[in-house]
Structure 1
Amino acid sequence: MDPNLIPLIESAIELTDTFPGGPFPMRSQVTLLTGGSMRFFARLEDGERSIVALFQPGGGEEFENYLEVGNFLRENNIGVPEFYVSDNRKGILLMEDLGLDDLESILKNAGQDEELSFYREGIDILFELQTTVTSALQEAGHPQIAGFDRAVLLGETEYFAVEFIDGYCGMTPPPGWSKECELLADRLSSLPPVFIHRDFQSRNILLTEGRFRLIDFQSAHRGPGLYDTASFLKDPYHPILPGTRRTLLMELYYRLDEAGVEVPPGFEMYYDDFLYAGIQRNMQALAAFIRLGTKMGKKHFLDSIPNGLDLLEEGIDECGNFPAIKAVIGRARSILKEQG
């Protein structure tokens, strides 16, 4: 273990002083957990009990958001970890250990029927986020849950330009790039805002005691629900068949329509919006894979680039409106071929 982490681990263990059953010993087993951000997590075990510690050195806005959003979701019956105790100044949170069974891992060994069943459970959560949780958000306010507006959407495509187009492909944005980014941002920012997790994908959904639980929710926004839906149904960590994706999307559409949620007056219009959301989301994910894999040393994220490109190209081919992005995909595929 990095010696610089030892004081943080010791501070976390000190927070267990008031735990039922007594504090965890200083020689507790510590397992560092993987993740995709500057934060890090560790599992602490004393032989009979286990907890997870979140470390965001110095605390700050993102740490506060994790607490606020987690508590808000729990109050509205969305499965998230229980929070035990925190030190906001140091940026340490002790919480429930949800185990190791994330949806991505579970789906690797799932049959077709089981896969569909798991995905329907995920759709159930999306439905609740876009209905019950959104209504509660409108009533409660929660100013820390910002709007996922046109500026944020353009910020995501700029992130893609910096990390992927320049950093990975080594090219300048093709002609028409800015116009295509604006087309995406205009389309998605015009959709009714709901509560969105903003990273609703298979590694952020854990199965604990038979129930799906969400993690990594600190970036929640008010924005287009289809962004979360695309994150889930166009997930590079576990791509699903287009027919299965369409079936699940149609089921969600009719449930939302029946619940009185504002949706387009026909599934095909809703599907077109979904395609735009998928293009936006897949570009964000590809940019993140490059940044995490090359600048932060988490090279396993690079393994998801081919799936991300496939999903992005699939959406572009269905839309037929994005030649500049299509050119970037062509360059990226050439690089992958050169790398073997």
Structure 2
Amino acid sequence: MNEASSPSSPHARADQRLSWARITLNAPALSLHRASVDAGQRSYWRTQGAAESLIVMDSPPGLEDVHPWLSWHALLEDGGVRVPRILARDVDAGFLLLEDLGQPTLAQLLSRDPAQADAWFDAAFDQLLTLQAIAPPEGTGVFGEALLQRDAGLFEEWFLRRHLGIELDCDASDGLELVQRRLMDNALSQHKVLTHRDFMPRNLMPVLPGPAVLDFQDCVRGPVAYDAVSLFKDAFLSWPLERVDGWLLRYHARALQVGVPVPASAQTFLRDADWMGIQRHLKILGIFCRLHYRDGKSQYLPDLPRFITYLDQVLPRHPQLQPLQQLLDQRIRPALAARSA
């Protein structure tokens, strides 16, 4: 059997997806066009030729289990979070028909019109605080020691060693381990709430009421500062540190008002957000390199410097993390310069 006729081939999957959409919508002339590119196996397709534009979400069985997405969708929708409406489903085949929330994403909108940032981030706070008020169901994964250790390993294995060719000597290795331990201890000490883990403008759609929240299938019980800092330290959109601090303080004040368990001290919360952000930046540097070298997805590499800039912005505020600053100045920056020469 050749690839074109194999039931698991991209060609066969495309035929199955199109046939399902046409039958479901009773639209024999309907066509599908890719709506977005995902880092995983899930894909999204916009209909054309039906009465209205809709989205087909394709989660190929055996490659991307649709059940976690459906479970979290139900929990968030019942809890008042704005998520896409499901109009039809074939769970066994891995197909869902969703409302089309249109274009652009919040990241694209704010890139074109940053003057709307205050209003949309205030609306995003509403969604985030609603999400954080939902009690995580029994069996929810925990963003704890195991996940933190895994994240720490991504930075050293894929960014330092594979991408930059850096092998740390004992002193540098001990220094990085100390910083990672301090970041992990800070994360573990924070109150735990339902955590999206990718609460960023590219996963938010600027619709009213909203914004609508996407890509929520990996929710865990995690540190209360995690999603808040993720909103402003995006892979595709950056802001001056002073504005980020101001937005985080606004979120903190509102979280206190509605009973989300942030620290009473605003300065303590800003510290927690900084450290949580640093932990996340190191992880993302590793993940983007892994996507390139292991998965052949190179579109994320150009954003590596953005995360170095995020580190540059906040590390000087935290002398407890000085070994990471030294590693950045003495090894990482020269290696990056050599790669780009």
Shared fold (TM-score greater than 0.5)? yes
Question: Displacement of 1:32 after TM fit?
Answer: 5.6
The alignment status of 1:278 with 2:277, answered yes or no, reads yes
Partner of 1:13: 18
Question: Displacement of 1:192 after TM fit?
Answer: 1.1
Return the letter of the residue paired with 1:56: S
* Count of paired positions: 329
Over residues 272-303 of structure 1, what are the superposed CA-to-partner deviations in whole Å (9 max), with x where a residue is unaligned?
11111111111122222222234333322112
Over residues 194-220 of structure 1, what are the superposed CA-to-partner deviations in whole Å (9 max), with x where a residue is unaligned?
011001112111123563111111111
In the alignment, the residues of structure 1 paired with residue 105 and residue 35 of structure 2 have an alpha-carbon distance, to the nearest angstrom, of: 16
2:128 pairs, out of 116, 126, 129, with 126
Over residues 148-195 of structure 1, what are the superposed CA-to-partner deviations in whole Å (9 max), with x where a residue is unaligned?
112211211112222212121211343222222222111111211101
Task: After TM superposition, list the pairs within 5 Å mapping 1:152-191 onto structure 2.
Answer: 152-173=147-168, 174-176=172-174, 177-191=176-190
**Unpaired stretches in structure 1, ≥5 consecutive residues:** none
The alignment status of 1:241 with 2:240, answered yes or no, reads yes
In the alignment, the residues of structure 2 paired with residue 190 and residue 221 of structure 1 have an alpha-carbon distance, to the nearest angstrom, of: 16
Partner of 2:109: 106
In the alignment, the residues of structure 2 paired with residue 200 and residue 91 of structure 1 have an alpha-carbon distance, to the nearest angstrom, of: 24
* Percent identity (aligned): 23
Return the letter of the residue paired with 1:28: S
Task: After TM superposition, list the pairs within 5 Å mapping 1:25-104 onto structure 2.
Answer: 25=28, 28-31=31-34, 33-59=36-62, 62-104=65-107
Alpha-carbon contact 1:59-1:89 (below 8 Å) kept: no
TM-score, normalised on structure 2?
A: 0.87
In the alignment, the residues of structure 2 paired with residue 260 and residue 210 of structure 1 have an alpha-carbon distance, to the nearest angstrom, of: 22
Question: Which runs of structure 1 show a deviation greater than 6 angstroms over 4 or more consecutive aligned residues?
Answer: none
In the alignment, the residues of structure 1 paired with residue 284 and residue 201 of structure 2 have an alpha-carbon distance, to the nearest angstrom, of: 13
In the alignment, the residues of structure 2 paired with residue 252 and residue 29 of structure 1 have an alpha-carbon distance, to the nearest angstrom, of: 39
| Larger deviation, residues 80-89 vs 216-225 | 80-89
In the alignment, the residues of structure 2 paired with residue 67 and residue 312 of structure 1 have an alpha-carbon distance, to the nearest angstrom, of: 36
Q: Which secondary structure state, in structure 1, belongs to the residue aligned with residue 92 of structure 2?
A: coil
Question: Displacement of 1:74 after TM fit?
Answer: 1.2
Q: Which secondary structure state, in structure 2, belongs to the residue aligned with residue 321 of structure 1?
A: helix
In the alignment, the residues of structure 2 paired with residue 61 and residue 298 of structure 1 have an alpha-carbon distance, to the nearest angstrom, of: 17
In the alignment, the residues of structure 2 paired with residue 209 and residue 48 of structure 1 have an alpha-carbon distance, to the nearest angstrom, of: 22
RMSD between superposed Cα atoms in Å? 2.4
Return the letter of the residue paired with 1:175: S
**Unpaired stretches in structure 2, ≥5 consecutive residues:** none
Over residues 206-258 of structure 1, what are the superposed CA-to-partner deviations in whole Å (9 max), with x where a residue is unaligned?
12356311111111111112111111122231111112111111111122222
In the alignment, the residues of structure 1 paired with residue 60 and residue 190 of structure 2 have an alpha-carbon distance, to the nearest angstrom, of: 36
Partner of 2:321: 322
Q: 1:149 to 1:333 in 2, by over 3 A?
A: same
In the alignment, the residues of structure 2 paired with residue 198 and residue 10 of structure 1 have an alpha-carbon distance, to the nearest angstrom, of: 33
Over residues 111-147 of structure 1, what are the superposed CA-to-partner deviations in whole Å (9 max), with x where a residue is unaligned?
44x222222222222222222x24xx3xxx242x311
Partner of 2:119: 117
In the alignment, the residues of structure 1 paired with residue 323 and residue 28 of structure 2 have an alpha-carbon distance, to the nearest angstrom, of: 57
Return the letter of the residue paired with 2:12: P
In the alignment, the residues of structure 2 paired with residue 335 and residue 100 of structure 1 have an alpha-carbon distance, to the nearest angstrom, of: 39
In the alignment, the residues of structure 2 paired with residue 142 and residue 266 of structure 1 have an alpha-carbon distance, to the nearest angstrom, of: 31
In the alignment, the residues of structure 2 paired with residue 191 and residue 241 of structure 1 have an alpha-carbon distance, to the nearest angstrom, of: 26
Partner of 2:142: 147
Alpha-carbon contact 1:101-1:208 (below 8 Å) kept: no
Q: Which secondary structure state, in structure 2, belongs to the residue aligned with residue 84 of structure 1?
A: strand
Partner of 1:206: 205
Q: Which secondary structure state, in structure 2, belongs to the residue aligned with residue 296 of structure 1?
A: coil
In the alignment, the residues of structure 2 paired with residue 258 and residue 29 of structure 1 have an alpha-carbon distance, to the nearest angstrom, of: 45
Q: 1:43 to 1:61 in 2, by over 3 A?
A: closer
Question: Displacement of 1:43 after TM fit?
Answer: 2.3
Alpha-carbon contact 2:30-2:47 (below 8 Å) kept: no
TM-score, normalised on structure 1?
A: 0.87
Alpha-carbon contact 1:81-1:215 (below 8 Å) kept: yes
Task: After TM superposition, list the pairs within 5 Å mapping 1:218-297 onto structure 2.
Answer: 218-297=217-296
In the alignment, the residues of structure 2 paired with residue 315 and residue 8 of structure 1 have an alpha-carbon distance, to the nearest angstrom, of: 46
Q: 1:281 to 1:256 in 2, by over 3 A?
A: same
Alpha-carbon contact 1:148-1:223 (below 8 Å) kept: yes
Q: Which secondary structure state, in structure 1, belongs to the residue aligned with residue 260 of structure 2?
A: coil
Alpha-carbon contact 1:81-1:96 (below 8 Å) kept: yes
Q: Which secondary structure state, in structure 1, belongs to the residue aligned with residue 252 of structure 2?
A: helix
In the alignment, the residues of structure 2 paired with residue 30 and residue 260 of structure 1 have an alpha-carbon distance, to the nearest angstrom, of: 43
The alignment status of 1:336 with 2:336, answered yes or no, reads yes
